[in-house]
Amino acid sequence: MPSYHAPLRDLHFVYHELLDADDVLTALPGFEEATPDLVDAILEEAAKLFEQEIQPLNQPGDEEGCRFEDGRVHTPKGFREAYRAYTEGGWPALSLDPAIGGQGLPETIAFMLEEMINSASVSFGLYPGLTRGAVTALQHHASDELKAIYLPKMAAGTWSGTMCLTEPHAGTDLGLLRTRAEPRGDGSYRIDGTKIFITGGEQDLTENIVHLVLARLPDAPPGIRGISLFLVPKRLPDANGEAGEANGVSCGAIEHKMGIRASSTCVINFDDATGFLVGPEHRGVACMFTMMNAERLAIGIQGLGLAEVAYQNAVGYARERRQGRSARGPQDPDHSADPLLVHPDVRRMLLTTRAFTEGGRALAVWTALNIDLSKHHPDPELRQEADDLVALVTPVVKALFSDLGFESTVLCQQVLGGHGYIREWGMEQFVRDARIAQIYEGTNGIQALDLVRRKLFLHDGRLPNRLFDLIEAYMEPRRGDASLQPFLTPLEHALTLLRELTAWLIREGSEDPDELGAAATDYLRIFGLVILAWFWVRMVETALEDHEGRDDAFYRAKILTGHYFLQRILPQIGSLAAAVRSGARLLMEFEEEAF
């Protein structure tokens, strides 16, 4: 059975040393109590919960899966008890508004816990994860009356939330959905329709399930502009605000999936169900995107969490497993074979994964820090700048992290050889669980299109230019630092290439929109690798500083991993840029009949 240990040392490095989050966050109104001691205590307690209570359920939960009997879903053995421990510990409310029962701590802390829970068990983490997203949407768009009834229960974790978009005939193209909503005349609506792929749509962990449902009113215009958002509870609240009589909501089936088998993925039927409008009529997609954007970041963190736990187990195996001899001759002559770690290709796979997880962790925490700045900084210009950066990197985090997360789990599975393909070692589960993150909450192709078709053009290119200027402002005063030059030079070249490619893409895409679609996936990978390169240079700089009580092994490993990323992984952007510039013609001139 695989194991997991929360990477607390690296989280401390990113939070306290790299980003100086202590000073940044405690200076914001409402976060004065988020002291270093408190943050470390939270991380340590969370690590105990995820290592000792949640992670041991991951593999048996996958093997048992969810059961669907008589319209009810039963989660695997141990999940209910673990979920109770999770809610009783107050973990769902960590970063939520105190007005609804939250603890009011920074989103940055919640992001670090998000990585841990996904390393421990993606399936388990999906249940509270969707609820947090639903709370975010309701806080922004629901009426005060709905907030008062539903949000405290959801913050406590006794009621959960879902996101109901997809229908059997309508996935990415939401304009095709058919679920109907008709006014009842008393402020509520009758909801009828079927939604599929609903994570946590039915389960036995919570007293009630609050569905956020996209549907059409009778007078709705066609397409995406005619969709509204409704809150539809599984059980209607009674006079005391508790889960009362059953609503017209039922589970028709659960999906039998490649991975995340302990997470219930449901077909949900709405038959004469009572729902309540959230936000303005016909503005449902915009309201739902408040939740969707939060979930896209969370899905990216799934890839990061799985890569981390896969790396830990692959390294443990490579230290112990003896196969062959080093090309330089026996390294351990007292045994008949050397450990796998002597082989360059094994090191390539492990270092590639490590370079992603540590670089991705830095980007993830930085993104969360900007979420906190965008909400709480007293200067409106700085709030806008932070909001722009979060909007820009959201599709990058979702797509890059889930792509690299899957690729990393495959690399780590490869380290184990044949044992990586055998269930008892757990690596094949990481591969299966990682695969879905590239698909749900908007496929990675859709994320790439969001980047090139929307984010590059918004406000005359303000969003990408903010990031490019930020990286340039970091590099400018450091160009004379001889110790940083081996790291800074590759970043300078990469940023120059990205600027040139961005200008080329905007120019070509303005004349032929197919150029944007043809380039999107490769361009997003380039964009993401350049951002990771920026963070690797920053981490190397931090590691090169003088540290009291210095942990030399930790900092030296950081510097070596940064060098590996900048010299071995970052150069991929050259071939990707060539593919982008090859243009759309290579794709579009291929005749349909020839496929």
- CB–CB of 353/314 below 8 Å? yes
Burial of residue 235, with CB atoms counted within 10 A of its CB: 0-12 exposed, 13-18 middle, 19 or more buried: middle
Cβ proximity of 177 and 190 under 8 Å? no
The gap between the terminal CA atoms of the chain, to the nearest Å, is 44
Q: Cα-flanking dihedrals φ and ψ of residue 228, to 5°?
A: -120, 165
Catalytic residue among 167, 428, 441, 515: 441
Structure tokens that stand for 341 in this block: 């770690």
Element (H, E) at 68: strand 67-69
- Strand partners for 215: 228
Amino acid at 19: L
Place of tokens 């997809």: 166
Beta strands in 149-263 (DSSP E): 159-164, 180-183, 189-199, 208-215, 228-233, 235-237, 243-246, 249-254
Beta-carbon contacts of residue 473 (< 8 Å; ≥ 6 apart)? none
3-state secondary structure of 275: strand
CA 424/CA 160 separation, integer angstroms: 32
User: For residue 268, what is the enclosing H or E element?
Assistant: strand 265-278
> Nearest CA to 207 among 156, 277, 249, 164?
156
SS3 339: strand
CA 467 to chain centre: 20
Our answer to whether residue 441 is catalytic in this structure is yes
**Up-side HSE of residue 177: CA atoms within 13 Å toward CB?**
31
Question: Is the CB of residue 134 less than 8 Å from the CB of residue 163?
Answer: yes
Q: Are the CB atoms for 398 and 441 separated by under 8 Å?
A: yes
Nearest-5° Cα angle at 273, 260 to 204: 35
Tokens of 130: 């969707």
Contact between 354 and 373 under an 8 Å Cβ cutoff? The reply is: no
Token couple for 499: 């600027």
Using CA atoms, how far residue 519 sits from 40, 151, 467, 584, 595, in Å, is 43, 42, 20, 8, 21
Give Dmax over CA atoms of the chain in angstroms.
Answer: 84
**Identity (one letter) of the amino acid at 232?**
V
Half-sphere exposure of 470 (CA within 13 A, CB side): 15
CA-to-CA dists, residue 271 to 180, 181, 192, 199, 239, angstroms: 10, 11, 5, 19, 23
C-beta separation of 444 from 403 below 8 A: yes
Structure token digits, residue 170: 């309508």
Q: Which helix (H) or strand (E) holds 579?
A: helix 572-581
**Residues annotated as catalytic (active site), given as ranges:** 441
